[in-house]
Amino acid sequence: MSLVNLNNRLRKLERQLRPHGDGCFTLEELCRAIWDRDKQSFIELAEGNSYRLFVTRFEAEDAEREAAERKRREAGLCR
């Protein structure tokens, strides 16, 4: 997928997320929103370009969040 197509998808997502807002987002916020909606599509979009850095970052953040959630559940079960 070309950067033009990715840009168009980001603009569409922007309209969906904040239709009445000022339209200001960081690239990371928009990429995270796409990631949260459909990880596999974002991974495909990121192939061969610098957006791949976000994939690595989001995977790490998700893993940390899942580990923390798992710890909270385990702690609740032990009480």
Model pLDDT for residues 28-45, shown as the tens digit of each residue: 888 898 899 899 999 998
Separation between Cα atoms, residue 54 and residue 22, nearest integer Å = 24
Separation between Cα atoms, residue 50 and residue 27, nearest integer Å = 12
Separation between Cα atoms, residue 21 and residue 76, nearest integer Å = 39
- pLDDT tens, residue by residue, 52-67: 999 999 999 999 999 9
Mean pLDDT, range 65-74, rounded to an integer: 92
Domain residue extents for the chain: 3-78
